[in-house]
Amino acid sequence: MHNKTTLIIVMALIVCLAGSSAFAGALKDRILARKPAVAAMLADGTVGENNKGFLEFKGAQKQADVVAAENQDRATVYQAIAKKTGTTSELVGQRRAAKIAQSAPSGTWLQDSNGNWYKK
């Protein structure tokens, strides 16, 4: 399921940043390069997916640089989508969080709209 999530993020990125292919390509490469580390942290409960579409620490803050970089690139994608669709990046992130929650594998920590954490 994480492959599906990554594919959705990458496809949204390509659509929204089509005019800036070098930038979109670099962003896509960074997201894909971090994918194994992010998946491992999600699987072991170090991080969860919050209700704003970003990673958030649930355990020891190992690999904080990976989480920070992933969240920064997600923010860039959300801003591009918001600009293209005439909405806010916050709303894009919230909608993305709902999609992530649907496709997340069992055992992933997720945050509901009230800010409560639960394990899928």
- Taking only the tens place, the pLDDT of each residue in 82-105 is 999 999 999 999 999 999 999 999
On whether the pTM is more than 0.75, the answer is: yes
Residue 92 confidence (pLDDT): 96
- Please tell me the distance from the alpha carbon of residue 57 to that of residue 62, in angstroms, as a whole number: 9
Place of tokens 């969240």: 71
**Model confidence pLDDT, tens digit, residues 8-66:** 565 565 555 555 676 678 888 999 999 999 999 999 999 999 999 999 999 778 889 99
Q: What is the DSSP string of 40-84?
A: HHHHTTSEEE-TTSSEEESS--TTHHHHHHHHHHHHHHHHHHHHH
Residue closest to 24 by CA, chosen among 64, 80, 68: 80
Residue 17 confidence (pLDDT): 53
Residue 95 confidence (pLDDT): 95
Residue 63 confidence (pLDDT): 87
- Domain boundaries defined on the chain: 2-119
Q: Look at 25 and 120; give whichever has higher pLDDT.
A: 120
- Please tell me the distance from the alpha carbon of residue 120 to that of residue 113, in angstroms, as a whole number: 15
From residue 5, give the alpha-carbon distance in Å to each of 54, 62, 97, 119: 13, 23, 11, 18
**Model confidence pLDDT, tens digit, residues 72-83:** 999 999 999 999
